Structure 1
Amino acid sequence: MDRLPDQLQPGLRLVFVGTAASERSAATGHYYAHPGNRFWRTLHDVGLTPRLYQPAEFPALLSLGIGFTDLCKLGAGMDHVALKAGVDVAGFAAKIRQHRPATIAFTSKKAASLFYARPTRAIVLGRQPEHADFPTVFVLASPSGAASGAWTLQPWRELAVHVGQR
């Protein structure tokens, strides 16, 4: 059973893609649910949402054209634990091709590294080179409190500008 349900539908302007649910998110059933996670505050601060949403309100973002999924749907917790449950990159890519969002944004370099099958150190933040038959891709600094040392708002701002132009 998936730890968090996908929030996908055809025609979304943006889909956020995480690595896996945190323990708190898996327990509550809400994306980016840990109080130390910057995700919801950042969405509002960069203008992707008109107000500050709470994690329990994640389904409401579909009405704003924003969806959610993870590469690892069965695991939960820190990456070194959650990813033991397996990563389904092909299944993820098929979902994205089926629903055809305009843009996807990996919410960590780790998630992007799994998709691109490259080491995390080889992943750069921001807009990525075009990928055949795939939406525009951004890689964002992880909003997780566990990744505070690598936090930067800049790629989130770039994403907001891009999505606002579509």
Structure 2
Amino acid sequence: MADKPLPSFNGLLNKFKHKTPPPATTTATPVASTANATIRPKSSLARVAKPVPVIATARKVSKKKPISPTDLPQLPLLLEPGLVCVFIGFNPGIQSSLQGHFYAHRSNLFWKMIYESGCVNEPVTYHDDQSMIKRYRYGFHDLVLRSTRSMDELGRVEMLDNVPRLERTLQTYTPAIVCFVGKGIWEKIYKYKTGRILPKDGFAWGLQKNIDFTFVTKDRSTKLFVMPSTSGLAAGMSREHKLALWKELASIITEEREAQKE
């Protein structure tokens, strides 16, 4: 049997040479969203993160400021000495303030009633309110001067506090007749003057005769007439009943005109 050849010197060195281990193979946990986000183009990411603001244009179109009653001017003071009758309303509505005339809303019956009752002898509209002083000796004023969308926006305390202001104004001009266009106005006057609530059984529409206080004039020479509100929102009384009260007022106005001629 032949002897094995002796290993060479290089062979011995290779036997003890350090061998680099093969790279370890790791199994990555599949995360779909992370992988997709890594390879997604930057332009695609921008489109997803910044959606197009669809409603931005609509907001720019409708920037009209809503009308606020506090921004509206007061109605002119349509009073002067020696008037036959002054009509007192609650306060100006939005349309009245916008137009600058009393009882300007299209649903208000004031201008129809004043003509149909015979208080004036020709059809009139709210555009005629300023000329009524010279033509018929009629004036106009309100319990509260600020405008609101409806009478319900007036506070009870606010209306009550305006009674002395209204009386002082009327005392300056001393009209022959004061017509309150709304029972609520008379209720606040009664409350201010007597400290009591107006009794239901003791109230009657029209000329106020049996009252235990004075208003405007101490000698009671100014006649006080209470009329239902002519607002289109006031539907508690029939049109026929309202017109009958207006005709009663027209009769009192005629008597006053005749008395002033004497």
Give the alignment's TM-score, normalised by structure 1: 0.90
What per-residue deviation string (whole Å, max 9, x for no partner) do you get for residues 106-141 of structure 1? Answer: 001011112222657734311002653251000011
Q: Which residue of 1 aligns with 2:244?
A: 154
Q: Which residue of 2 aligns with 1:138?
A: 225
Once residues 126 and 247 of structure 2 are traced to their aligned partners in structure 1, the CA distance between those partners, rounded to angstroms, is 21
Q: Which residue of 1 aligns with 2:12?
A: none
Once residues 168 and 144 of structure 2 are traced to their aligned partners in structure 1, the CA distance between those partners, rounded to angstroms, is 14
Once residues 4 and 106 of structure 1 are traced to their aligned partners in structure 2, the CA distance between those partners, rounded to angstroms, is 17
SS in 1 for 2:249: helix
Pairing 1:8-47 to 2, within 5 Å after superposition = 8-47=79-118
The match for 2:124 among 46, 53, 58 is 53
Say which one has the larger Rg. 2
Q: Which residue of 2 aligns with 1:124?
A: 204
Once residues 49 and 62 of structure 1 are traced to their aligned partners in structure 2, the CA distance between those partners, rounded to angstroms, is 12
SS in 2 for 1:162: helix
Quote how far apart the aligned CAs of 1:84 are: 7.4
Once residues 143 and 47 of structure 1 are traced to their aligned partners in structure 2, the CA distance between those partners, rounded to angstroms, is 16
Once residues 249 and 230 of structure 2 are traced to their aligned partners in structure 1, the CA distance between those partners, rounded to angstroms, is 14
- Between the two proteins, the alignment pairs up a number of residues equal to 166
The match for 2:145 among 70, 73, 77 is 73
Structure 1 segments, 4+ long, off by >3 Å, are 82-85, 118-123
CA contact (8 A) 1:72 1:85 kept: no
SS in 1 for 2:229: coil
Give the alignment's TM-score, normalised by structure 2: 0.59
SS in 2 for 1:69: strand
Once residues 225 and 244 of structure 2 are traced to their aligned partners in structure 1, the CA distance between those partners, rounded to angstroms, is 12
Higher RCO (C-alpha 8 Å, min separation 6): 1
- Provide the alpha-carbon RMSD of the alignment: 2.1
Residues 124, 23 of structure 1: alpha-carbon distance in 2 compared, 3 angstrom cutoff: farther
Residues 41, 120 of structure 1: alpha-carbon distance in 2 compared, 3 angstrom cutoff: farther
Pairing 1:60-99 to 2, within 5 Å after superposition = 60-63=131-134, 64-83=136-155, 86-87=158-159, 88-99=162-173
Once residues 204 and 155 of structure 2 are traced to their aligned partners in structure 1, the CA distance between those partners, rounded to angstroms, is 21
Once residues 245 and 254 of structure 2 are traced to their aligned partners in structure 1, the CA distance between those partners, rounded to angstroms, is 14
Of residues 27-36 and 148-157 in structure 1, the stretch that sits farther from structure 2 once superposed is 148-157
Structure 2 alignment gaps of length 5 or more: 1-71, 257-262
Once residues 4 and 83 of structure 1 are traced to their aligned partners in structure 2, the CA distance between those partners, rounded to angstroms, is 20
Quote how far apart the aligned CAs of 1:73 are: 0.5
Which residue identity does 2:103 align to in structure 1? Y
Q: Which residue of 2 aligns with 1:102?
A: 176
Identity of aligned residues (%): 27
Once residues 80 and 61 of structure 1 are traced to their aligned partners in structure 2, the CA distance between those partners, rounded to angstroms, is 29
CA contact (8 A) 1:109 1:140 kept: yes
